[in-house]
Amino acid sequence: MKISVVVPCYNEESNIEPFYHEMKKLPEHLPLDTELEVIFVNDGSRDNTIDEVKKLAGIDPVIKYIDFSRNFGKEAAMLAGLEYAGGDYVVVIDADLQDPPSLIPKMYDIIRNGDYERVATRRVDRKGEPPIRSFFAKMFYKLINKISDVKIVDGARDFSMMSRKMVNSVLSLKEKNRFSKGLFEWAGYKTKWLEFKNHSRNAGSSKWSFWKLFSYSIEGIVSFSSYPLVLSAILGVFLCVISLFFIIVIIVRQLFFGDPVAGWASTVCVILFVSGLQHLMIGIIGSYLARIFIEIKDRPSYIVLETNMENGN
């Protein structure tokens, strides 16, 4: 049996060596007949990540690499790894040792001996993370689980092991706007969740700025829910009901009190409010449209500059 370990890397030069060290410890905890391949996907790093990886690949045939022509994002890196992986089981794991590689033997044990197709992980705390980021993350999980059919576990990591069957199912989802946490859930299959405490990054800094995370969360919502589109209709009905009420009030007032024109300010407020809502709704429709546009252009999710692998599929 073969396990492929997919490692997306963006500016991780000082983590490659320690990560490799952890990988070297794995075989002694795995059954003897287990073959290992470690696929570093260099996502257009601006530092010496690729040199570090190639150095290791030169001395150890277990080390494979896929070097992108530029930074395509973690989603693209994971996709490339899954596409190239030849293993019967595939692990996705971060390069910064925030996901403990020591869990891999346990995952393998569960997936091989149980009837699970996936062993996934979630963090039980968010220690060491800025509070504002934790707050928005919590809000995001609440929101997406309310408005989407696909349930996403709070604190779920991308760190997981999947069977070949599940990997093939995930790869059959051809969308370009990829939100893997959702795709994995969408594919279904019985999943075992393991929990672990948050570790801080080994070296370097997080690649996710607040805005990058924000737009990633919008990605998740737009990809997995059409509820925001319905919102427009709901608000429309709501505003109609309110305006009907005011029309009646104004007619009655006119009939019984003969009120002259009054309330220029309130008129302007109403116009501003309603046109604000309209713009918001156009924006929501626009974000769906933009994604349709990207899908329809059908560009590849990534471009490979160099690799020492043959595409497994």
Q: How far from 63 is each of 74, 132, 287, CA to CA, in Å?
A: 19, 38, 40
Counting Cα atoms < 13 Å in the Cβ hemisphere of 171 gives 18
Cα gap 1→244, rounded to integer Å: 69
Among 126, 176, 207, 291, binds ligand UDP (CB under 6 A): 207
Choose from Mg ion, ligand UDP, none: what does 74 bind? Cβ within 5-8 Å by kind: ligand UDP
Q: Is 87 in the site for ligand UDP (CB under 6 A)?
A: no
Cα gap 102→107, rounded to integer Å: 9
Token code pair at residue 12:
């991780």
**CB of residue 96 to Mg ion, shortest distance in Å:** 4
Q: Report the DSSP pairing between strands 191-196 and 118-123.
A: parallel
Choose from ligand UDP, Mg ion, none: what does 207 bind? Cβ within 5-8 Å by kind: ligand UDP
Give me the phi and psi of 61, to 5 degrees please. -65, -10
Counting Cα atoms < 13 Å in the Cβ hemisphere of 263 gives 8
Site mask for Mg ion (CB under 5 A), range 78-107, x = bound: ------------------x-x---------
Choose from Mg ion, ligand UDP, none: what does 9 bind? Cβ within 5-8 Å by kind: ligand UDP
Choose from ligand UDP, Mg ion, none: what does 77 bind? Cβ within 5-8 Å by kind: ligand UDP
CA angle 4, 193, 163 (to 5 degrees): 30
CB count, 10 Å around CB of 139? 11
Counting Cα atoms < 13 Å in the Cβ hemisphere of 89 gives 23
Q: Is 98 in the site for ligand UDP (CB under 6 A)?
A: yes
Q: Is 77 in the site for ligand UDP (CB under 6 A)?
A: yes
Taking alpha carbons only, the member of 125, 143, 115 closest to residue 227 is: 143
For ligand UDP, which stretch binds (CB under 6 A), given 6-14, 19-27, 110-118, 168-176? 6-14
Does residue 177 contact residue 72 with C-beta atoms inside 8 Å? Answer: no
Choose from Mg ion, ligand UDP, none: what does 71 bind? Cβ within 5-8 Å by kind: ligand UDP
Residue 128 or 263 having the CB closest to Mg ion: 128
Does residue 80 contact residue 304 with C-beta atoms inside 8 Å? Answer: yes
Residue 55 or 164 having the CB closest to ligand UDP: 55
Choose from Mg ion, ligand UDP, none: what does 90 bind? Cβ within 5-8 Å by kind: none
Q: Is 49 in the site for Mg ion (CB under 5 A)?
A: no
Q: Is 12 in the site for Mg ion (CB under 5 A)?
A: no
Q: How many residues of this chain interact with ligand UDP, rule: CB under 6 A?
A: 17
Output DSSP code: residue 190: -
Among 13, 37, 43, 52, binds ligand UDP (CB under 6 A): 43
Q: Which is it for the CA torsion 59, 65, 69, 73, positive or negative?
A: negative
Hey, what's the torsion of the CAs at 159, 162, 167, 170, to 10 degrees? -60
Residue 9 or 187 having the CB closest to ligand UDP: 9
Strand (E) or helix (H) holding 52: helix 49-59
- Footprint on residues 10-29 left by ligand UDP (CB under 6 A): 10, 12
Among 73, 87, 105, 182, binds ligand UDP (CB under 6 A): 73
Choose from ligand UDP, Mg ion, none: what does 43 bind? Cβ within 5-8 Å by kind: ligand UDP
List interacting residues with ligand UDP (CB under 6 A). Answer: 8-10, 12, 43, 71, 73-74, 77, 94-96, 98, 201, 206-208
List interacting residues with Mg ion (CB under 5 A). Answer: 96, 98
